[in-house]
Amino acid sequence: MHATLRLLEQTDFPAIARRAVEVLQVNVGYRCNQSCVHCHVNAGPTRTESMPREIADEVLHYLRQTHVPTLDITGGAPELNANFRYLVTEARALGVHVMDRCNLTITQQPGQEDLVAFLAAHKVEVVASMPCYLEDNVDRQRGDGVFQASLQALRAFNVAGYAQPGSGLTLNLVYNPQGPSLPPDQVELEEDYRRILGDRHGIAFNRLYTLANMPIQRFGSTLVSKGQFGGYMRLLKNNYRAENLSQVMCRSLLSVDWQGYVYDCDFNQMLGLPLLDASGRPIRLSELAAAELEGRCIRVAGHCYGCTAGQGSSCGGALN
């Protein structure tokens, strides 16, 4: 795989600083039952990195200490981590809002038969990858059979109460483009999704988030292989919108890796750009209190243009 950090380090992206932490995003490991072409994690079935119990306990200790209101659990397929349900249960017991970044097909993997019921019982917000409402496009990006398996999973979430009026169970979908282009307008695409997934397949969801692909890891490497890296970076830069800068997610999100080191966002985690102390040593979550981060410079590089292009892009979709 082609490394992209050296192509991103020299940047004119504006300097930005952190605000108070509102979301703790924990990447519990890179193992996944899928190997999608756009994956910014380079996740897959053969990855072995996985957050152990003592780091999960450091995460819970941080939540207890700081009262950060939201825990966003990602991966890989986070549900494959042996401590996933422990983290969810304990964080919910603290009154923390928990989000699960779910690839949908994981619900049909052996040992995950009760996953939907577990998430519903703990009122976990599900943020599910669904990069198109057309079968061919989903299967091309995520693998053969993924579209049908995803529909089956979405129906199971609906049956469990997700996206049903008054249930308090939230099911949001995530779209990302097939290739090196910007996502379409989020509001219009959400209407298309609602019409097609609803009318054709009887599926309900709450919101659709559109995300730009990041020029790192597997997607970045594919761009390099195809000679499209420079063109994609120009596209991101040419569509820079300054008003997105105040809302990029790293302002209020803190990312943690499976070993307990902290980053400004999951993309920086994948590029190996941790928060550093005064002596240049990577900082651990166990060393932090939330207040220490306010005003701290964010480690920006060329990929940050992926967050500010067009309507903007974040874990919660478009920024404007």
Q: How far is the CB of 308 from ligand SF4 (least distance, A)?
A: 7
| Contact characters 87-116, ligand SF4, x per CB under 6 A | ----------------x-------------
Q: How far is the CB of 151 from ligand SF4 (least distance, A)?
A: 16
Q: How far is the CB of 40 from ligand SF4 (least distance, A)?
A: 7
| 71 scored as a contact of ligand SF4 (CB under 6 A) | no
Q: Which stretch binds ligand SF4 (CB under 6 A): 20-28, 30-38, 112-120, 164-172?
A: 30-38
Q: Which residues contact 175 (CB under 8 A, 6 or more apart)?
A: 130, 131, 132, 183, 189, 193, 208, 209, 210, 211
How is residue 289 written in tokens?
């209190």
Closer residue to ligand SF4 in complex, CB, 186/255: 255
Binds ligand SF4 by CB under 6 A, chosen from 23, 24, 43, 124: 43
Q: How far is the CB of 222 from ligand SF4 (least distance, A)?
A: 13
| 39 scored as a contact of ligand SF4 (CB under 6 A) | yes
Closer residue to ligand SF4 in complex, CB, 36/163: 36
Among 70, 19, 5, CA closest to 298 = 19
| Contact characters 129-168, ligand SF4, x per CB under 6 A | x---------------------------------------
- If 0-12 CB within 10 Å is exposed, 13-18 middle and 19+ buried, where does residue 167 land? middle
Closer residue to ligand SF4 in complex, CB, 60/88: 88
Q: How far is the CB of 317 from ligand SF4 (least distance, A)?
A: 13
Number of residues that bind ligand SF4 (CB under 6 A): 25
- Residue numbers 251-310 binding ligand SF4 by CB under 6 A: 264-265, 267-268, 298, 300, 303-304, 307
Binds ligand SF4 by CB under 6 A, chosen from 21, 24, 59, 77: 77
Binds ligand SF4 by CB under 6 A, chosen from 21, 163, 235, 250: 250
Instruction: Give the interface with ligand SF4 as residue ranges (CB under 6 A).
Output: 32, 34-36, 39, 41, 43-44, 75-77, 103, 129, 248-250, 264-265, 267-268, 298, 300, 303-304, 307
